[in-house]
């Protein structure tokens, strides 16, 4: 659908702000998406952007409605995994699993299929089926040596599922593999691995404060107080010598 030039520019500016803010300030991105939606609700790109902004702010029912609208307009299956994840967000993991078995999944590209696998594994865990989640994540993509955009997240999810199943040794191995493939720091795999190794992170400022001896501080305060008293008394003595003026200068 084409828009008048001025309106199209206004919509584009709001969509740019959504894309710019969605990671660092999701609520503000959501506000811009609502403006774009008011201006051009019949544009698929606007509905999709509004869906992602709502998703980022955990408004899953709203996000699902926007994704469905965008899909009706385009006929694309690209949003299928995130729609399934919205079902998870709404507390309906069974629906997410049902979507994972629909024909639409076969029409997804490789990245979309991996994303769908991650959602399905998450749904299994929502249902308390940790072992089934582990099996769901076992795939050629997980075993591949080549690093793809999804590799770090897939390995991380597998490691996390292994840890939930009490398989700590294997979890440690896969967290390490996730770190190897996570060049952009998209996961906290390094922190998780450090926790398993018993490494504790301490705030440097808190550590400095904790090392201060409270008794020494107390003695220092007392010493300072005594000096102040002596100084005040000396000033008072001087005042008496000059005429005994006690005007309240000690306070």
Residue 168: its pLDDT value, please? 97
Which helix (DSSP H) or strand (DSSP E) does residue 56 occupy? helix 44-56
The answer to whether 135 touches 146, Cβ cutoff 8 Å, is no
Angstrom distance (rounded) from CA 187 to CA 173 = 15
The answer to whether 123 touches 104, Cβ cutoff 8 Å, is no
For 200, other C-beta atoms within 10 Å of its C-beta total: 6
* Spans of the chain below 70 pLDDT: 1, 200-251
Angstrom distance (rounded) from CA 9 to CA 3 = 9
Residue 245: its pLDDT value, please? 38
Q: Which two tokens stand for residue 49?
A: 């952007």
Angstrom distance (rounded) from CA 232 to CA 226 = 10
Q: What is the pTM of this model?
A: 0.78
For the stretch 93-102, pLDDT in tens is 999 999 999 9
Residue 197: its pLDDT value, please? 86
Q: Residue 139 gets which letter from DSSP?
A: S
């Amino acid at each position: 659908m084409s828009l008048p030039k001025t309106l199209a520019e206004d919509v584009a500016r709001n969509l740019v702000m959504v894309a710019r803010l969605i990671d660092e300030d999701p609520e503000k991105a959501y506000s811009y998406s609502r403006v774009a939606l008011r201006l051009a609700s019949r544009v698929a790109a606007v509905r999709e952007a509004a869906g992602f902004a709502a998703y980022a702010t955990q408004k899953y029912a709203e996000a699902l409605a926007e994704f469905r609208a965008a899909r009706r307009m385009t006929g694309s299956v690209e949003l299928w995994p995130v729609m399934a994840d919205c079902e998870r967000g709404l507390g309906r993991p069974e629906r997410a699993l049902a979507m994972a078995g629909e024909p639409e999944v076969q029409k997804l590209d490789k990245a979309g299929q991996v994303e769908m696998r991650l959602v399905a594994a998450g749904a299994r865990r929502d249902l308390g089926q940790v072992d089934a989640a582990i099996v769901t994540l076992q795939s050629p993509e997980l075993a591949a040596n080549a690093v793809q955009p999804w590799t770090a997240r897939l390995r991380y999810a597998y490691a996390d599922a292994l840890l939930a199943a009490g398989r700590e040794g294997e979890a440690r191995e896969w967290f390490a593999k996730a770190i190897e493939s996570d060049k952009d720091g998209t996961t906290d795999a390094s922190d998780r691995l450090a926790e398993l190794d018993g490494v504790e992170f301490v705030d440097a400022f808190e550590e400095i404060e904790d090392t201060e001896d409270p008794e020494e501080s107390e003695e220092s305060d007392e010493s300072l107080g005594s000096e102040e008293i002596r100084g005040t008394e000396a000033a008072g003595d001087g005042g008496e010598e000059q005429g005994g003026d006690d005007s309240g200068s000690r306070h």
